[in-house]
Structure 1
Amino acid sequence: MSTTVQASRATGLTTAEVEQRRRDGLSNDVPDRASRSVRDIIRANVFTRINAILGVLFILVLATGSIIDGMFGLLIVANSAVGIIQEVRAKRTLDQLAIVSQAKPTVRRDGKAVDVAPREVVLDDLIELGPGDQIVVDGEVEEASLLEIDESLLTGEADPIDKQIGDQVMSGSYVVSGGGCYRATKVGKDAYAAKLAEEASKFTLVKSELRSGIDTILKVITYLLIPAGLLSIYNQLVSSKESWRPAVTGMVAALVPMVPEGLVLMTSVAFAVGVVRLGRRKCLVQELPAIEGLARVDVVCADKTGTLTENGMRVSDIKTLDSFEDNEVRQALAALAADDPRPNASVQAIAEALPDGPGWQRTAVAPFSSAKKWSGCSYGEHGDWLLGAPDVLLDAHSDDARMAEELGSSGLRILLLARSDRPVDAADAPGTVRPAALVVLEQRVRPDAKETLEYFASQHVSIKVISGDNAVSVGAVASSLDLTGGDHAVDARGLPEDREQLADVLDHETTFGRVRPDQKRAMVAALQSRGHTVAMTGDGVNDVLALKDADIGVAMGAGSPATRAVAQIVLLDNKFATLPYVVGEGRRVIGNIERVSNLFLTKTVYSVLLAFLVGIAGVGSQIFGYDPIGYPFLPRHVTIAAWFTIGIPAFILSLAPNNERARSGFVRRVMRLAIPSGVVIGIATFVAYLIAYAGPEASAQQKEQAGTTALITLIMIAVWVLAIVARPYVWWKVVLIATSVAAYLLLFTVPFTREFFKLDPSNVALTTAAVICGAIGIVLVEVAWWISASLLGEKGQLFPTPAGGADDELDT
């Protein structure tokens, strides 16, 4: 390798070399975010199984010449349009936020360090590295200063790997400590982690309890649709002895309501709207199930620095120790701050307080790491200086250690400046330490931290403060926020390594200091072993392992690129107070989808049962010789039955506020209402139809009156199911139910709509019978609801409790 090439690499590529590589296609041409394209979104929302079923039935109805009975075909357009619009909105929100959140590597070009987007990196670029930086492309180390890389995200090996000049680094890993730079050797799709990163960042609606529950329900429905559909087809085309046109329309009327056409749509819309709403609060949801997941969390592990306290610090005092002079102490601090290429918040505060370095020549360096809790530089004749945690570098029984603890007990952050008797890069460093000064740093507690902790406490979500700082200092911050247990913080250096014993400690304690990165990870695992759903918040490289293992990882936008890469949720505004809104959004999604699922599945149950009852009666007519029975409804009847009992109300309920705490057992709770309600509606409707049925030779008016009788019974009970699902009642829900009732009264009383939809309630005797059947059905559904609530140990509520104020207003 020539000297010229070495010099060229030290200063990085020139602008001309960068442009040439771009022309040659040697850039890191991976998409900023691997969200689905608009074309994929359209295809996914148009070409669905449900649309295919409805499309075939729509064509069959058109073949009969009855365009009006094909109104359900509008569902195909509505389902597709709403799904496309909402998902495109969510895609745009995600893509815009992802660009803000993405790591921007620092590259050397024309001898200068510049920040660029990952896709602007080209082959042979020199990329600088510091603690917390994520490696965006594969490369070879060109410069290394005690460089340690964590490749656990790729290999699963948690121990950091020491990297020397010439060693390979892989995209997807990150820097734990030290610094240096590497040359890009593989870019774009050739990079090791490119495909993994692309797959991980996709807009996805899968792998959640909610989605898996709905998939399970749809599988069961599919199995029921096959025999019910075949029986309906046989009954209408063979048993009923009707001409082909009414037989086909009856068959379509039986099959259409069996399909829960809006259930998947409403779920997708609820998730997508959640993404948009959270996007307005500068919250990037990198994996959509995280919205649901955070709503199920019952333990939040919060880092202190950057989460409960603000990132910025300032030096409030420098207390000189031993026989050191103030000027010597300040010069050493200024030198350490000036020579740190990647200063953390503490060193930045020192640099701001002491901006003029003495210009000492550095002879050795020891970068800070979370494991050893100190950093240092050797300056030849000017000495070997350390900066780190007092309780790590000092004898715990010394007067200086006691002074540091007293200062830290008030919530201040304390660093020790000390002089060592050996170079800082010696194998046995730090050696004998001579304390020189205590640096007192002020951390500001976030003004919204206390309110956020109180919110989680009110929702029975436990908070565990886990910090690498001094336990006394952490306890002081926790106590200032009135966190239970903050007054007796635990020093993590004395925690047991056994998972069960650690879980016992975590059950009773809330505040922990001096926690190593591996201990944070162990704490998350211990809590999960006790059945807890754990969220971890953090912003530093020492939080990455715990964020990765937690059920939900929440990173601060100002945190290290590595934390943002592994987290499912990124708070771009760095506000811990945004978390309650994420929890609330998840609860809205889960609670409302549960509500609308009740409506759609009730319709499926009564449609399948009614088809079975009519089909069995038709088969029985052939065996026993009584009059055959056709399906009671036209397709237009089942369309209007769904308008105001399911369609419009479900859409409103799916987007409404809902602060009910997320619970497991989604499928069981949904079916506990849907099955009995559907059975009652199916049987009551069939009985009402039998009362009104005048035989196969009945006039057109008699057939119309029989269908109307059955429809009145069905709608009455279905509206009552809507009323049950909408509980607890608030003003807008009462208006919604009243509007549904009023809409049906208009349909049945206005001459035009009666003629258009073939409704005839003029037979007083039959209409009275329909109302009686409907009233009996209402009573049975109501009794079933109270019994099921009692059996599950739940309290049925007609009106919200005073604490449930979040559900009092309709959020538009």
Structure 2
Amino acid sequence: MEDAYAKSVAEVLEAFGVDRTKGLSDSQVEQHARLYGKNVLPQEESTPFWKLVLKQFDDLLVKILIAAAVISFLLARMNGETGLSAFLEPSVIFMILAANAAVGVITETNAEKALEELRAYQADIATVLRNGCFSILPATELVPGDIVEVGVGCKVPADMRMVEMLSHQLRVDQAILTGESCSVAKELESTSAMNAVYQDKTNILFSGTVVVAGRARAVVIGVGSNTAMGSIRDAMLRTEDEATPLKKKLDEFGTFLAKVIAGICILVWVVNIGHFRDPSHGGFVRGAIHYFKVAVALAVAAIPEGLPAVVTTCLALGTKRMARLNAIVRSLPSVETLGCTTVICSDKTGTLTTNMMSVSKVCVVRSVHQRPMTDEYSISGTTFAPEGFIYDAGGLQLEFPPQSPCLLHLAMCSALCNESTLQFNPDKKCYEKIGESTEVALRVLVEKVGLPGFDSMPSALNMLTKHERASYCNRYWENQFRKISILEFSRDRKMMSVLCSRKQQEIMFSKGAPESIMARCTHILCNDDGSSVPLTMDIRNELEARFQSFAGKDTLRCLALALKRMPAGQQSISYADEANLTFIGLVGMLDPPREEVRDAIHSCMSAGIRVIVVTGDNKSTAESLCRQIGAFEHLDDFAGYSYTASEFEGLPPLERTNALQRMVLFSRVEPSHKKMLVEALQTHNEVVAMTGDGVNDAPALKKADIGIAMGSGTAVAKSASDMVLADDNFATIVAAVAEGRAIYNNTKQFIRYMISSNIGEVVCIFVAAVLGMPDTLIPVQLLWVNLVTDGLPATAIGFNKPDGNIMTVKPRKVNEAVVSGWLFFRYLVIGAYVGLATIAGFVWWFVYSENGPGLPYSELVNFDSCSARQTSYPCSIFEDRHPSTVSMTVLVVVEMFNALNNLSENQSLLVIHPWSNLWLVGSIILTMLLHVAVLYIEPLAALFSVSPLSWAEWKIVLYLSFPVILIDEVLKLFSRSPRGRRFPLRLWRRDILPKESRDN
């Protein structure tokens, strides 16, 4: 029943055919159960594990690797190879693919946990009226039409319409749905609000919320999926996970590379058809198989097998650095997404604010001798910690606040007319509240005011433990007075009162809405001498002006406090006693903004990131906060920058588009609006980060490019998010964005490094095959180079120091290619040199080496016909390990020098020295030690078909490798020049990683 909030109690009861005094009958329960279903959130059918595993292999590049591994194994068996050599290459490839698949499965499994944890917010039991009797039943048995009784501490078991109030008031904590920091007062009256949001439906109790005060009866109007909690679940189910920008680019690159590899492999095989019948192969079929092996080797060389592992490792290292910033990353790819975030949609409560209501201003009447004079105090401190100072209107700190009569009586009233508790949590090492936030704020004010006499000395209070300090001053007043009678808060009176006794004197303390308290006051307490004087119209007008200033301009939540001396011996109070009160003072409180938020907002603006404040609070309160944190800086008129959810939904399409481009504040929202905002921004190619902490935020967190949950948030929000802020601090997001940008820059560097290395390997094998030379490198050697000798330096490049201006440049575009234009040309040049240097080492050994056969070049490129010709050398020379050893070593060493080139994209090694990244230096040393071990330790040498090198051979390796640094220095010099920056290079496709719109 969606419109129950707009109907009267009688209409709702009639719609379900239920008697409010008897409840449903057994037959009605059965009928409604068949009609409306059970009160459970349906369990979503999870994806079978085997399907998740298979999904990880649904990639063209992966399929080519699998094919290469299978073919390699089959060819080895056909050639009669046995033991480790036959299984090594395919085994390594399958281990790589298995590791990558494991990461993917774990990531997707985590995404389903949010739906499971949503069920934890359903109530277990309910007190239900059926057949005229109340009984406690499992909440799952509730049906629409059931009459349910709820009280303090009860978790609401279903969506229900209020029917009867059994106490003066009923207050419900709806934070999991709306994010509001304060509980909501419920009422019986219907509301006629159009497009009502959860906050407007004050006569509805929502499933999963908690009653914090009062007792009432309500009729069930929705169960299971037809509840507020059910709508959140449905929204989460409809939300598909978006791939991160880097993952999209890598997937596109993989598809592009796979097609290129397939083309080159076919080309190599076709080009060499004429060599299939060469005598050395022993027949056409064997020749075809030989060049098929060459094509497989080419595929292994072209595919950067180590790239997924290096990307994962670099992102994992980034998560550790972010963890030190209090940003706990749950999804590795989200680390990189932060780097291109263009919009941060930030929840107000608890993220931009402390979510700890604090008294910030106090107003009392100083004297009324000639005209009313008021004293206004400001109070420092933005948390529940009993730490802070009181300042007068001139900004001077009060040394002894209790010496002011009004402040002293304010402290008394705040401590005694209060039902909350302030305590220190030793596990979390912070002060926590039990009860209403506004009442706890008054408790903290009492501690800041202090006590009369010696105990008020700061040095005395500072000697207490945190546990003792939490309520030391409050306990003092509670020990001085004995509470006799309490009149609870009610919506009609908008106040509460408590009768206290001390030394045979009875005093009634009252607090409530300023208009209610002022209407009942006849006197005021003067701050200059503590006297009580009649409340004149002039004084009343002055106080009302102060109240309007507090509530209007400062948007503070205001309370007035008063007292009344009662007859000696009185043991109870009634509503009639709440008259002829003496006004003590006015307090203004707010959920204060975090101190570091203003600077963080400015950092976002400098970095080209727009911050949109998203809140369920009313528009004026939210606008006041935006002014305080600098989000509305330089704006005199908020029109066009501040919208409520209903205002935004009512805009025509064109105006809505304009609003999205300028919006700074989105207020009075509910869960569906948050998700709608994220989707609208993504439609305009914005990369959106969304913060949240409640169950209500889960759909938007899941839909956002990066969902950020608060550490103090619900388990559902955390499970739906990509990152969790351990300190609930907006400034941490900004620090994480800077880290994300640095990680992306380093990721680009090592991707380019690995691409240029693989281009070199492809050039080496392709040129050798076209020229008709023997195999320069075999697949197992290529795997070793790709995984180990390339992988270690590539990972170390992830430790490159970030640029100093990383947070002063605009975010990169979503469709920005990792490698494009001039950069691709640069790495083609580097790759070509790597390949040619590798071949040169191979040729050198056969033609010029003292240890080689000294063959003419023509003999080398016609090795296939060796057995058919008379030669002065044995044909077995072409199976010698030395030439491929020289080639492999040149490839390794030249790539070590190339790793140094990637310390910076454009800066010379004369400017950025190698020791600026000691991890890279260490990885190069370790790589060379591993390579030397492969060359000189016999079991490894036999495994990789290599042999030890002589000093002369090492010198040739260095001569051929070092020029890669000189070539890249020239290319960097050209890049730094104005002409280089305007270099109009265009490829057959503009980008090696093609652009793709979000809609594709």
The interval holding the TM-score normalised by the smaller chain is 0.5 to 0.7
Alignment-derived partner of residue 589 in structure 2: 441
Alignment-derived partner of residue 772 in structure 1: 959
* Amino acid across the alignment from 1:441: M
| Map 1:541-560 → 2, pairs under 5 A | 554-556=708-710
Find the partner of 1:595 among 749, 755, 768.
749
* Structure index of larger Rg: 2
Q: Please, which moves more after superposition, 119-128 or 577-586? A: 119-128
Alignment-derived partner of residue 306 in structure 1: 350
Find the partner of 2:930 among 743, 746, 749.
743
Alignment-derived partner of residue 684 in structure 1: 837
Residue by residue, what CA displacement relative to the aligned partner does 1:580-632 show, whole Å, maximum 9, x if unpaired?
Answer: 46435634653343233224322432343334433433xxxxxxxxxx43432
Confirm or deny: 8 A CA contact 1:540 1:563 kept in the other structure.
Answer: yes
Alignment-derived partner of residue 83 in structure 1: 100
Q: CA separation in 1, counterparts of 2:75 and 2:780?
A: 11
SS at match of 1:109: strand
Q: CA separation in 2, counterparts of 1:583 and 1:650?
A: 23
Confirm or deny: 8 A CA contact 2:551 2:558 kept in the other structure.
Answer: no
Confirm or deny: 8 A CA contact 2:118 2:716 kept in the other structure.
Answer: no
Find the partner of 1:663 among 803, 812, 822.
812
Alignment-derived partner of residue 126 in structure 1: 158
Confirm or deny: 8 A CA contact 2:115 2:716 kept in the other structure.
Answer: no
Find the partner of 1:218 among 254, 257, 280.
254
Confirm or deny: 8 A CA contact 1:123 1:187 kept in the other structure.
Answer: no
Find the partner of 1:638 among 782, 787, 802.
782
Alignment-derived partner of residue 711 in structure 1: 888
Alignment-derived partner of residue 620 in structure 1: none
Residue by residue, what CA displacement relative to the aligned partner does 1:384-415 show, whole Å, maximum 9, x if unpaired?
Answer: xxxxxxxxxxxxxx966763587689989343
Shift of 1:247: 5.0
Residue by residue, what CA displacement relative to the aligned partner does 1:456-490 show, whole Å, maximum 9, x if unpaired?
Answer: 58867576778856589647854xxxx6986x775
Mark the runs of 5 or more structure 2 residues left unpaired by the alignment. Answer: 1-13, 130-137, 145-156, 161-171, 179-185, 209-215, 366-371, 373-405, 421-433, 447-473, 475-482, 495-511, 521-540, 562-582, 644-654, 847-856, 867-873, 905-911, 983-1000
Shift of 1:737: 1.5
**Does 2:89 match 1:72?**
yes
SS at match of 2:558: strand
| Map 1:10-21 → 2, pairs under 5 A | none
* Amino acid across the alignment from 1:629: M
**Does 2:633 match 1:492?**
no
Q: Structure 1 residues 405 and 470, CA, compared in 2 at 3 Å: closer, same or farther?
A: farther
Find the partner of 1:260 among 304, 307, 329.
304
| Map 1:30-179 → 2, pairs under 5 A | 30=43, 39-45=50-56, 48-63=62-77, 64-66=79-81, 67-68=84-85, 70-87=87-104, 104-105=121-122, 109-110=126-127, 126-127=158-159, 131=174, 134=177
**Does 2:649 match 1:649?**
no
Q: Structure 1 residues 476 and 288, CA, compared in 2 at 3 Å: closer, same or farther?
A: same
Alignment-derived partner of residue 568 in structure 2: none
Shift of 1:83: 2.7
* Amino acid across the alignment from 1:720: F
Shift of 1:228: 1.2
Q: CA separation in 2, counterparts of 1:544 and 1:376?
A: 35
Q: CA separation in 1, counterparts of 2:311 and 2:680?
A: 33
Confirm or deny: 8 A CA contact 2:755 2:827 kept in the other structure.
Answer: yes
Q: CA separation in 1, counterparts of 2:923 and 2:894?
A: 16
| Map 1:455-470 → 2, pairs under 5 A | 468=619
Confirm or deny: 8 A CA contact 2:556 2:588 kept in the other structure.
Answer: yes
Residue by residue, what CA displacement relative to the aligned partner does 1:64-97 show, whole Å, maximum 9, x if unpaired?
Answer: 2344265332333432443355456656877778
Q: CA separation in 2, counterparts of 1:376 and 1:549?
A: 41
SS at match of 1:110: strand
Alignment-derived partner of residue 428 in structure 1: none
Confirm or deny: 8 A CA contact 2:765 2:776 kept in the other structure.
Answer: no
Alignment-derived partner of residue 622 in structure 1: none
Confirm or deny: 8 A CA contact 2:330 2:722 kept in the other structure.
Answer: yes
Alignment-derived partner of residue 197 in structure 1: 236
Q: Please, which moves more after superposition, 438-447 or 526-535? A: 526-535
Alignment-derived partner of residue 875 in structure 2: 699
Q: CA separation in 1, counterparts of 2:126 and 2:885?
A: 79
SS at match of 1:441: strand
Confirm or deny: 8 A CA contact 1:557 1:573 kept in the other structure.
Answer: yes
RMSD over aligned Cα atoms: 6.4
Give TM-score, length-normalised by structure 2: 0.54
Find the partner of 2:558 among 404, 415, 427.
415
SS at match of 1:307: helix
Q: CA separation in 2, counterparts of 1:505 and 1:192?
A: 30
Q: Please, which moves more after superposition, 457-466 or 259-268? A: 457-466
Find the partner of 2:762 among 594, 608, 611.
608
Q: CA separation in 1, counterparts of 2:192 and 2:46?
A: 32
Q: Structure 1 residues 675 and 73, CA, compared in 2 at 3 Å: closer, same or farther?
A: same
**Does 2:337 match 1:293?**
yes
* Amino acid across the alignment from 2:837: A
Q: What's the % identity of the aligned pairs?
A: 19
SS at match of 2:356: strand
Confirm or deny: 8 A CA contact 2:38 2:141 kept in the other structure.
Answer: no
| Map 1:186-585 → 2, pairs under 5 A | 186-187=224-225, 194=233, 196-198=235-237, 200=239, 206-234=242-270, 239=275, 241=278, 242-243=280-281, 244=286, 249-267=293-311, 290-297=334-341, 300=344, 305-315=349-359, 319=363, 345-346=437-438, 349=441, 358-359=487-488, 403=546, 413-415=556-558, 438-441=586-589, 443=591, 446=594, 449=597, 468=619, 474=625, 477-478=628-629, 492=638, 535=689, 537=691, 554-556=708-710, 571=725, 573-580=727-734, 582-583=736-737
Count residues with an aligned counterpart.
697
Q: Please, which moves more after superposition, 724-733 or 236-245? A: 236-245
SS at match of 2:812: coil
Q: CA separation in 2, counterparts of 1:40 and 1:524?
A: 30
* Amino acid across the alignment from 1:680: Y
Q: Structure 1 residues 216 and 119, CA, compared in 2 at 3 Å: closer, same or farther?
A: farther
Q: CA separation in 2, counterparts of 1:103 and 1:439?
A: 39
Shift of 1:773: 3.3
Shift of 1:229: 0.8
Confirm or deny: 8 A CA contact 2:690 2:706 kept in the other structure.
Answer: yes
Q: Structure 1 residues 731 and 217, CA, compared in 2 at 3 Å: closer, same or farther?
A: same
Confirm or deny: 8 A CA contact 1:237 1:248 kept in the other structure.
Answer: no
* Amino acid across the alignment from 2:158: L
* Amino acid across the alignment from 1:667: V
SS at match of 2:350: coil
Q: Structure 1 residues 237 and 262, CA, compared in 2 at 3 Å: closer, same or farther?
A: farther
Shift of 1:293: 3.1
Shift of 1:535: 4.5
Q: Structure 1 residues 122 and 445, CA, compared in 2 at 3 Å: closer, same or farther?
A: same
Q: CA separation in 1, counterparts of 2:347 and 2:204?
A: 36
Q: CA separation in 2, counterparts of 1:523 and 1:740?
A: 50
Mark the runs of 5 or more structure 1 residues left unpaired by the alignment. Answer: 113-117, 136-141, 151-156, 172-178, 366-374, 384-397, 419-434, 507-511, 618-627, 795-812
Shift of 1:226: 1.9
**Does 2:963 match 1:787?**
no
* Amino acid across the alignment from 2:587: V
Confirm or deny: 8 A CA contact 1:69 1:635 kept in the other structure.
Answer: no
Q: Please, which moves more after superposition, 39-48 or 224-233? A: 39-48
* Amino acid across the alignment from 2:249: G
Q: CA separation in 2, counterparts of 1:220 and 1:299?
A: 31
Residue by residue, what CA displacement relative to the aligned partner does 1:219-240 show, whole Å, maximum 9, x if unpaired?
Answer: 2212211221113334667526
